[in-house]
């Protein structure tokens, strides 16, 4: 029997030899290290685990474990790698038994100690602003003047790369406040640091409502933009009416970018604002109906003092709780999930010289400049990304994937990759297996997918046809017979393997983009069958920048109009474009309509308030968005969730016309939140195609070498608690495009909606 042995490393000696050969044993050792890495990183709460550079450890550990010649050597290597971080960790041969003894975890006098254990509300990486949180219990809060109380949000901005952006809000400070207010913008881009702007040079102190703005220009490789409002220091501020705009440098007009819940009118007073990250230690964030700049509600941010034992939720591991599991290669582990700790250390403390030696070893053996051209960097990236999903991805129960086999496949591909770009493909294949419509992987600074030809295509009746074209040689309705010498099916097949999607509709929508992307001025050779039946070759240049392609082609609204009377008594409302303000202005007209067609083939323009004018009974669905409480590895004992809803209120006037909604596979996330109410409360006849089947706030993390991964960290159900992921909102009346319809310029979805609108 192996009894608990307190593992203290007195010296750290590692080989610096890099072994590139892939062997079954090396592969198995990597998988073993991967499992233990995740257990210790996310669930062992020692101070040393907080201080270590986990990126360096993933890279260095991958190099070391695959050199181990046998099980005993691997066991010693793992102890050397994790001992300085988790001295109470037990690693032992699975063929033997091990007994965990709690006594070495308990100091002689526990009065000055608190229980330290991980709590994950979803999972949070670094200081990014989102709904997800990770913290250790029992850690002291410094009772000094608070710094920043920040609320914010973020969004992908690939379609706006190179554009100017402007963020606007109305803000007022409380009289006598010591602190000041700010707007902020933060850009995420590739391997380079993006901008991080605030208003330090012009802090907000005015006690009257004023409108403020902050502007910036997005880099050509920008991936996401964070934006929000902060209270710096003590006091109180109110904020209302967030607005985000973008402007092409070649145009003078600012165009609004849709933001969810930007005016807080649908929120419950005294509750945090929905769809915004609003959680900072020592601050309270709540909606109030006592003050507002527009409408009737705003958000107030003010300081408060939290106890040093503030918890994310009530449940957490206690000292003596462990996770015992096989980790492969004939080895098992016992990982303590809770420790005693005070302001100085967690118990038992690691020898300071030992830990510092270990930290220097990592720094000395991992290059400062990391690139996916390096095998160890690629292996480290697999280790890090696989573990995030293994422990925190909320949809394994509804997708079909062998995640253990996915780890094996990814390692094998990483060995075969010869460049950073090759590894980008490997990471995309790995994340595609999650069937997550939000799943994306980008390589910072890459120029392989920056431009597009001035066309758009789509699969219709099993043919790939042109649906938009600014190229004289190509007409809408032309059929593509060959791409780069391949059939369209053969050209698209490997691309589908890299697209993470929960439904075929979203996969096909994403494929329209992925299939056309390439380096600037690169060629795309096509064989075309024209409308008349003749065939010829067309060579396209990829010269349209990404942001122009997204705005002018891929994400271009189906119709330019916002609200339009199509024929007597039948109104069309373009949810993708119309503002809630315009809807309010046209409400009297809409109230007189006999039928209203709402088009949600796209993304709502912060106009979900319209739902309140369609509801006939109170919204009682309050738990369809769920963020998991995580305290155990491998998603074990996951029973509780932080639950959210929109709490929509009934509003006058009620639109009692015949209501029809048009949807398709590009409607994702916020659009599906919107449509969830329409479906659940039976507010309309739904026409078109199933939506993307992917909802929930996006989370993200970075990997060594400049890779950025985006994914869904929240579980979203239908309002009746049934599965939404991979299902989406289903139409009552299905519609398929036809080649003849595309060639004739017809909107067959709208035609079907009009047919229903006219019927009695």
pLDDT of residue 304: 54
* 10 neighbors 305 (Cβ within 8 angstroms): no
Burial class (CB in 10 A: 0-12, 13-18, 19+), 99: exposed
**Domains of the chain, each with CATH number or no CATH:** 142-303 (2.60.120), 451-554 (2.30.42.10), 563-615+650-693+728-758 (3.90.226.10)
Q: Which residues pair with 227 in a beta bridge?
A: 153, 185
* 32 neighbors 331 (Cβ within 8 angstroms): yes
Rounded CA separation 411/33 (Å)? 12
pLDDT of residue 281: 64
The model carries a pTM of: 0.81
Q: How many helices and strands in the chain, by DSSP H and E?
A: 16, 39
pLDDT of residue 21: 57
Backbone φ, ψ for residue 731 (5° rounding): -75, 150
The H or E element containing residue 451 is: strand 451-452
pLDDT of residue 145: 44
Q: With a cut of 70, list the residues of the chain below it in pLDDT.
A: 1-21, 127-129, 140-147, 190-192, 281, 304-309
pLDDT of residue 182: 94
Burial class (CB in 10 A: 0-12, 13-18, 19+), 320: middle
Helices (H), 18-131: 24-43, 47-51, 54-65, 71-82
Burial class (CB in 10 A: 0-12, 13-18, 19+), 616: exposed
pLDDT of residue 418: 96
pLDDT of residue 129: 58
pLDDT of residue 251: 77
The H or E element containing residue 494 is: helix 488-496
Angle at 531 between CA 525 and CA 537, to 5 degrees: 20
pLDDT of residue 12: 40
CA distance to 217, 282, 541, 543, 552, per residue, from 470 (Å): 27, 55, 12, 12, 11
Cis peptide before 348 (omega within 30 of 0): yes
Taking alpha carbons only, the member of 350, 305, 338, 342 closest to residue 139 is 342
pLDDT of residue 133: 92
């Amino acid at each position: 029997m192996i009894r608990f042995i307190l593992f203290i490393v007195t010296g750290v000696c590692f080989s610096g030899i890099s072994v590139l050969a892939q062997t079954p044993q090396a592969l198995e050792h990597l998988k073993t290290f991967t499992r233990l890495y995740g257990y210790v990183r996310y669930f062992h709460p020692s101070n040393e685990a907080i201080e270590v550079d986990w990126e360096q450890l993933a890279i260095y550990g991958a190099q070391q474990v695959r050199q181990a010649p046998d099980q005993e050597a691997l066991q010693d290597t793992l102890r050397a790698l994790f001992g300085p971080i988790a001295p109470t960790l037990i690693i032992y041969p699975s063929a033997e038994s091990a007994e965990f003894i709690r006594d070495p975890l308990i100091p002689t006098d526990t009065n000055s100690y608190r229980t330290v254990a991980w709590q994950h509300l979803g999972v949070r990486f670094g200081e990014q602003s989102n709904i997800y949180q990770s913290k250790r219990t029992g850690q002291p809060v410094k009772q000094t003047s608070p710094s920043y109380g920040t609320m914010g949000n973020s969004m992908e901005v690939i379609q706006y790369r190179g554009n100017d952006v402007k963020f606007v809000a109305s803000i007022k400070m409380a009289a006598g406040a010591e602190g000041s207010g700010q707007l902020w913008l933060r850009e995420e881009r590739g391997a380079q640091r993006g901008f991080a702007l605030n208003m330090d040079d012009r802090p907000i102190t005015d006690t009257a409502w004023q409108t403020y703005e902050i502007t910036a220009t997005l880099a050509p490789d920008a991936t996401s933009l964070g934006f929000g409002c902060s209270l710096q220091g003590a006091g109180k501020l109110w904020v209302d009416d967030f607005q985000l705009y973008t402007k092409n440098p070649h145009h003078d007009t600012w165009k609004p970018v849709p933001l969810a819940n930007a005016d807080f009118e649908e929120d419950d007073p005294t509750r945090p604002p929905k769809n915004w990250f609003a959680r900072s230690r020592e601050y309270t964030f709540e909606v109030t109906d006592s003050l507002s700049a527009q409408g009737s509600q705003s958000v107030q941010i003010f300081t408060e003092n939290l106890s040093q034992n503030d918890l994310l939720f009530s449940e957490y591991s206690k000292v003596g709780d462990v996770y015992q599991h096989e980790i492969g290669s004939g080895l098992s582990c016992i990982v303590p999930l809770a420790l005693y700790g005070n302001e100085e250390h967690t118990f038992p403390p690691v020898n300071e010289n030992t830990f510092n030696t270990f930290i220097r070893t990592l720094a000395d053996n991992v290059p400062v400049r990391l690139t996916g051209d390096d095998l160890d960097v690629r292996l480290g990236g697999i280790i890090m990304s696989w573990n995030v999903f293994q422990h925190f991805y909320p949809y394994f129960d509804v997708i079909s994937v062998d995640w253990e086999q996915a780890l094996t496949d990814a390692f094998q591909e990483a060995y075969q990759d010869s460049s950073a770009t090759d590894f980008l493909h490997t990471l995309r294949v790995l994340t595609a297996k999650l069937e997550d419509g939000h799943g994306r992987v980008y390589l910072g600074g890459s120029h392989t997918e920056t431009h597009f030809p001035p066309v758009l295509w789509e699969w219709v009746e099993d043919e790939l046809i042109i649906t938009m074209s600014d190229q004289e040689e190509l007409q809408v309705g032309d059929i593509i017979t060959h791409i780069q010498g391949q059939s369209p099916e053969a050209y698209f097949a490997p691309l589908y393997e890299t697209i993470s999607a929960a439904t075929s509709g979203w996969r096909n929508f994403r494929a329209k983009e992925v299939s056309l992307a390439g380096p600037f001025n690169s060629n795309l050779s096509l064989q075309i069958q024209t409308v008349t039946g003749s065939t010829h070759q067309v060579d396209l240049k990829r010269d349209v920048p990404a942001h122009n392609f997204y705005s002018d082609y891929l994400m271009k609204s189906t119709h330019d109009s916002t609200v339009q009377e199509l024929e007597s008594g039948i109104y069309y409302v373009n949810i993708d474009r119309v503002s809630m303000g315009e809807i309010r202005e046209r409400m009297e007209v809409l109230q007189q309509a006999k039928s209203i067609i709402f088009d949600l083939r796209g993304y709502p323009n912060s106009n979900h308030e319209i739902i309140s004018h369609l509801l006939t009974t109170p919204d009682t669905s309050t738990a369809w968005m769920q963020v998991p409480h995580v305290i155990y590895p491998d998603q074990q004992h996951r029973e509780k969730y932080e639950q959210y809803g929109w709490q929509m209120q009934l509003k006058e006037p009620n639109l009692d016309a015949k209501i029809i909604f048009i949807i398709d596979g590009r409607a994702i996330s916020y659009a599906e939140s919107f449509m969830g109410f329409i479906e659940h409360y039976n507010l309309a006849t739904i026409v078109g195609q199933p939506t993307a089947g992917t909802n929930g706030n996006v989370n993200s993390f970075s990997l060594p070498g400049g890779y950025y991964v985006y994914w869904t960290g929240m579980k979203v159900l239908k309002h009746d608690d049934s599965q939404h992921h991979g299902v989406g909102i289903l139409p009552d009346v299905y519609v398929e495009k036809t080649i003849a319809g595309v060639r004739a310029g017809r909107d067959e979805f709208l035609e079907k909606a009009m047919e229903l609108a006219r019927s009695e």
